[in-house]
Amino acid sequence: MKDETKLVTAGRDPESNLGIVNPPVYHASTVLYPTLDALDQSRKRREGGERGVYYGRMGTPTTFSLEDMVCEVEGGDRCMVYPSGLAAIVAALMSFLKAGDHVLMVDSVYGPTRRFCDTLAKRIDVSTTFYDPTIGAGIADLIQDNTRVVYVEAPGSQTFVMQDIPAITKAAHAKGCTVIMDNTWASPLFCKPFELGVDVSVQAGTKYIVGHSDVMIGTASATAAAWPELEVTSRMLGHTAGPDDVYLAQRGMRTLSVRMNQHWKNGLIVAEWLREQEDVIECVMHPALPNDPGHQLWKRDFKGASGLFGTTLKPCPRVALAALIDGLQLFGMGASWGGYESLVLPQDPNAGRTVTPWPYEGQCLRFHIGLEDPEDLIADLDAGFNRLRAAM
């Protein structure tokens, strides 16, 4: 089946739910057993790693439905749901790292992932080496005897640098390392990490899976070989997501294809327009643009693009930047992304890099292009840039 069909059909079981189309929301902690034998059998199944309804924290049919949907589309063997994207990231890293281990972390990684490496990982005696995202097969030269995890994120946060994932996974597996990928930007629809050799794929489902800026949730999918470690560690950390949040994420998945294709289309239209504003724009960072340095990798490994990309302005005074941003009518200024609404957020790539300095002096802006008409978004931006020019 094509992905669009999987999104509609996966994780549904009307015959077990009185013919109801959408899986019901189970609010559960305690699960009762009718007999001692039934309790014993349940314990044996759980100890054997069999999925089932044993206790609310271990999952319910609501949870299983979302996990099955993500696995079906992303291509993993099993999936687990978490209360946030960061919870999924930390659980995945903790699953394969112990005291004395070493992790290779891409320099353009999501900020909270970097902070985990700089804080909690250090406290448990795990060392980190940040590496150039464009290193490709050269990652082999950085792998140490105690390297256990190689972490990739494509495209990278803030600057949208692409990585050669197949080359990195090949080198990492040759040295016995586990490869974890943050696949949030592309969603399970537009990137299939397991086809690229990844062992564990994490996502902030808060973004495109949910799609409406109203739920915090994360997912981690794994190969059959990587799943046992991921499951054991995640259970021990006590991760569980609330049933109403899981249901909303499950509902968001049903429309993922329609939304993602529109984000892709709208994002490219706006990015191409921004690229034409050469008097105020230094560069536009969007791997789906033909002139982007990572375009060929994106074209080879991805099936589409999201609505998230970056730009760098030519140097301008703060008053001009404020004139641009403060007067925008259709772009909110806030963290997160992936919802139906458009956003703009000033960022400083230098603040989150240690290996690959950012070469531009102007302000970096991250745009998320929502589901509004792109002509309206461009008109709003055009007025904003005219205000910027006037304030220069």
Q: Which residues carry out catalysis? A: 57, 110, 182, 207
> In which region does residue 255 sit, left (phi positive, over 0), alpha (psi from -120 to 50) or beta (all else)?
alpha
Give the Cα separation of 224 and 172 in Å (integer): 18
Q: How far is CA 147 from CA 102, 138, 140, 143, 231, in A?
A: 4, 15, 11, 6, 21
Contact 211, 257 (CB under 8 A): no
Please give the helix or strand (H or E) that residue 177 lies within, else none. none
167 contact partners, CB below 8 Å, separation of at least 6: 136, 137, 139
Give the Cα separation of 108 and 131 in Å (integer): 9
145 contact partners, CB below 8 Å, separation of at least 6: none
Strands 364-368 and 308-313: antiparallel
Strands 147-153 and 102-106: parallel
> In which region does residue 211 sit, left (phi positive, over 0), alpha (psi from -120 to 50) or beta (all else)?
left
- What is the chain's percent helix, strand, coil content, to nearest 5? 45, 15, 40
Query: If you search the block for the tokens 């794994």, which residue do you land on?
Result: 222
Strands 281-285 and 102-106: unpaired
Closest to 53 measured CA to CA, from 74, 32, 77, 76: 32
Closest to 136 measured CA to CA, from 349, 296, 348: 296
